[in-house]
Amino acid sequence: MAQMQRTIKKAASLAGTGLHTGCQSTITFTPAPINHGITFIRTDLENCPEIPADIDHVVDLQRGTTLGIGEVKVHTVEHVLAALAGLQIDNMKVELSGSEPPVGDGSAWPYVQVITDAGLAEQDAPKQFLEIEHPIAYSERDRGVDIVVVPSDRIRITFMVDYKNPALGTQYTSLVDLDDEFVEEFSKARTFCFLTEVEELLDANLIKGGSIDNAIVILDEELTPDKVARMRDAFRESRPIFAGKTGIMNDTPLRYYNEPVRHKALDLLGDLFLIGVPLKAHILAARSGHAANVALARKIRTIHQKQLISHKYGPKKPVGDFLLDINAILKIMPHRYPFLMIDRVIDIEGSNRIVAIKNVTINEPFFQGHFPGKPVMPGVMIVEAMAQAGGLLLLNAVENPDNKLAYFMGIDEVKFRKPVVPGDQLRMEIEMISFKRSMIKMAGKAYVESKLVAEGVFTAVVVDKNS
């Protein structure tokens, strides 16, 4: 039975203080239509600008996840995203009266509570899942970060951290079923940091809305009277601040025996929500944080975009080490014999890069006259092959590509390095330089085996077919 998309039944709000800005703000969750996705709306700014909650709008990861468009930003949204991901919500408008949502107790629970009290509503459209078909790996060896994503029938997370601190040590957790486990076992896990990090954040003029109630502080250095005085002043705290006996400031009791690693899993869930489509995958992570999580999300998003292209134009299960075959290319490209210069697309990376193949045979009509007895592929045809590969990349980067054409307006810095002859296989690699409105600039290179045979810079415009 298909799972249906979800939104909230009615508007629900929560007010409080932003963690880093210290500003008072109100967050309001409101219903959104089918296929709307998640958007943040800055109601405190003129025209109430909207920011989609997706990986393309992540602008900062220093102390949390910040989304933005131009000068408009929303800070520290990871716990909001974790709440939406854990409750499996697809469509929501998240209105904010400031630049940062209220921090609450440092977990996703305050948002979960507000949303579940308002109720969830199923919508008359099935969810679209991203199913991981092959293992994916991401590593940062210098930081000891390792993440592996493998196929699964649902979203699962296995997380491990190991800290050289007796209050934490090595911790492990596993989230197997969102319906059964998320609300009670993970959403209440609070953020944590080390005392040295508190000092660094205060030095950076951050955590203006911090308190002893919205984070677990692990003692990794001596809690001196000077540090206590500084925190009491910064947090406007009248209650005692002390070292205690557990290695946790004020001996704050944990909600779970492994609360820190559960919060790490919560952060991962929220960061992967930025892919923009729910996952069916098992994520096994060691020591990852927001930066690594978002890097993984970008990698998965690229794979998802390739799947969408392949499923739209080709067989649902691609055969061989390529993305699009000639039958798929014929569905996209307007060119036909004898002027179609692309035989296969090896790879597409969003709107950034394409790799395509042209098999050069003696049957090409231009070899009859170029040159008799010494067949050499005309340089203009090599340029045309690169341009067509660039056209494929352009049509993947625009909305409604079936109704568009790409016209090339200029070709600069063209150089030919080596003759191309029958039996060669041209490998075109095209990279986007700039994309402003309908004007595009790309750099192209053509190779035979590993040798560069031609290169150039292309300028093009995308127009409607009927214009």
Cis peptide before 338 (omega within 30 of 0): yes
Can you read off the two tokens belonging to residue 189? 């896990």
Whether residue 290 lies in the annotated active site: yes
Can you read off the two tokens belonging to residue 306? 């390739």
d(CA 77, CA 424): 52
- Give the pLDDT band (50/70/90) at residue 307: confident
Can you read off the two tokens belonging to residue 278? 């729910």
Where does the chain hold its CATH 3.30.1700.10 domain(s)? 136-308
Lowest-confidence pick of 115-124, 144-153, 392-401:
392-401
Digit-coded pLDDT (tens) for 69-128: 999 999 999 999 999 999 999 999 999 999 999 999 999 999 999 999 999 999 999 998
Q: How many residues does the chain have?
A: 467
What number is the average pLDDT over the span 271-288? 94
Digit-coded pLDDT (tens) for 12-57: 999 999 999 999 999 999 999 999 999 999 999 999 999 999 998 9
Taking the model in full, what pTM does it have? Answer: 0.80
Where does the chain hold its CATH 3.10.129.10 domain(s)? 314-464
Q: Which pLDDT value is given to residue 292?
A: 93
Q: Which pLDDT value is given to residue 370?
A: 94
Digit-coded pLDDT (tens) for 350-380: 788 999 999 999 999 999 999 999 999 999 9
Long-range contacts of range 401-404, CB-CB < 8 Å, 24 or more positions apart? 401/332, 403/464, 403/465, 403/466, 404/462, 404/463, 404/464, 404/465
How far is the CA of 1 from the CAs of 126, 127, 151, 277, in angstroms?
10, 11, 20, 19
Check if CATH label 3.30.230.20 holds for domain 4-125. yes
What average pLDDT does the chain have?
A: 92
Q: Is the pLDDT of residue 187 over 70?
A: yes
- The residue among 306 and 357 whose pLDDT is bigger is 357
Helices first, then strands: H and E counts in the chain: 9, 24
Specify burial of residue 52 (Cβ count, 10 A radius: 0-12, 13-18, 19+): middle
Q: Which pLDDT value is given to residue 345?
A: 92
What number is the average pLDDT over the span 233-237? 92
Whether residue 263 lies in the annotated active site: no
Classify domain 314-464 at the CATH superfamily level: Hotdog Thioesterase (3.10.129.10)
Digit-coded pLDDT (tens) for 406-461: 788 999 999 999 999 999 999 999 999 988 877 889 999 999 999 999 999 999 88
Lowest-confidence pick of 56-60, 360-364, 388-392, 403-407:
403-407
Digit-coded pLDDT (tens) for 219-231: 999 999 999 999 9
Q: Is the pLDDT of residue 340 over 60?
A: yes
Q: Which pLDDT value is given to residue 467?
A: 65
Where does the chain hold its CATH 3.30.230.20 domain(s)? 4-125
d(CA 117, CA 96): 19
What number is the average pLDDT over the span 300-322? 71
Instruction: Evaluate whether 216 touches 248 at the Cβ level (below 8 Å).
Output: yes
Catalytic pick among 20, 290, 304, 335? 290
Q: Is the dihedral of CA 195, 200, 203, 205 positive or negative?
A: negative
Q: Which pLDDT value is given to residue 314?
A: 65
DSSP 8-state code for residue 182: I
Classify domain 136-308 at the CATH superfamily level: lpxc deacetylase, domain 2 (3.30.1700.10)
Q: Is the pLDDT of residue 315 over 70?
A: no
d(CA 50, CA 68): 9
